[in-house]
Amino acid sequence: MADVARPLSKEAGITEEEFARRKDYLEIGPDDIDRLKRMNEFAQEYAVPVIDEFYRHIMSHDESAAFFRDPRVLERVKRLQVEYFKRLTTGEFDAAYAENRLRIGAVHEAVDLPTKLYLGSYAFYLRTVAAKIREAYRETPERVLDSFLSLLKVVFLDIGLAMDTYLVRRERTIRHQEEALRELFTPVLQVRPGLLIMPIIGPIDSQRARRLTEQLLAGIRQNRARVVVIDITGVPSVDSRVANHLVQTVQACRLMGARAMLTGLTAEVAQTLVNIGVNLANVNTVGDLQGGIEEAERLLGYRVTREDGTPPRG
């Protein structure tokens, strides 16, 4: 994973101030820290049995058990959970803690652990811990609820961070997909000397339009093209902005001495353009790619015939 080096807290926008604000909003105060620290003694003692129960619960349900098929993974996660349980009651919640929690959330997201299982497991975990607190404070039952509520605050802090990583990861995935789509490679192909075609597939935005134009212009110079056919059959929607980009591309080609033709305007696209009043009067349009290539060949003085001398359309 290439992005391990980059702190998740940065990506999720969890600055130190933000982390402090969250703690403040949850009203985690010195009293809570105190109570948590006091629980640390028996946390050391109970950590292992709590986690054992926790995983017994997880393993007793097919859906959640599926995530721990590998016994080594289970062992490792258990060990981490024991650490976590002890950590919860040290009362120290700093940036390193936040980063650690975010990382755990990211691991959950990476293995596609559904949030329902994450939250469901957490609820079970809290019930188990609550039982242990009650047991430990047999002598002073009035401390049970307060202690549990203090713990709950930290747990909510935690869940908040984990949820954020879920969202951050999702957003990152979406962003990557968008980028991939935007960077869809569009080839500029020479069909014959002097004739280039550029079939555009996928949506066009300003950035892509710019890149496409630059690519095409470079192709014109490199291939010494005199006619280019731009096919937009694969462009899902053409609005006035996209149309404007296309007009600019055609004009730029002309400035370099190449005539550009637009092909593949579907019925819907043509209707839309007329309805929104886009003027393509200065753009040479031909029905489909074949028509465009034929027209281009004509302009360049090519004549395509069959071996027996009949024209290709028969």
Residues that bind another protein (CB under 8 A): 210, 213-214, 217-218, 220-221, 224-226, 248-249, 251-258
- Distance in Å, CB of 224 to another protein, minimum: 6
- Distance in Å, CB of 198 to another protein, minimum: 14
Going through 155-282 in order, the beta strands assigned E by DSSP cover 189-192, 195-201, 227-234, 259-263
User: Which CB sits closer to another protein, 59 or 299?
Assistant: 299
User: Which CB sits closer to another protein, 4 or 281?
Assistant: 281
Determine the straight-line distance between the first and last CA of the chain, rounded to whole angstroms. 58
User: Which CB sits closer to another protein, 79 or 254?
Assistant: 254
Beta bridge mates, 261: 229, 284
Sign of CA dihedral 115, 120, 121, 122: positive
- Distance in Å, CB of 169 to another protein, minimum: 38
Beta-carbon contacts of 22 under 8 Å, excluding residues fewer than 6 positions away, are: 157, 160
- Distance in Å, CB of 264 to another protein, minimum: 22
Which of 99, 98, 114, 54 has the alpha carbon at shortest distance from 79?
Answer: 54
Angle between helices 30-59 and 71-88 (to 10 degrees): 160
User: Which CB sits closer to another protein, 105 or 194?
Assistant: 194
User: Which CB sits closer to another protein, 154 or 227?
Assistant: 227
- Distance in Å, CB of 257 to another protein, minimum: 4
User: Which CB sits closer to another protein, 128 or 213?
Assistant: 213
Cα distances from 164 to residues 1, 2, 18, 104, 108, in angstroms, run 19, 20, 13, 11, 12
- Distance in Å, CB of 74 to another protein, minimum: 59
SS3 30: helix
- Distance in Å, CB of 248 to another protein, minimum: 4
Angle at 217 between CA 212 and CA 218, to 5 degrees: 100
User: Which CB sits closer to another protein, 186 or 249?
Assistant: 249
The neighbour count for residue 21, using CB atoms within 10 Å, is 12
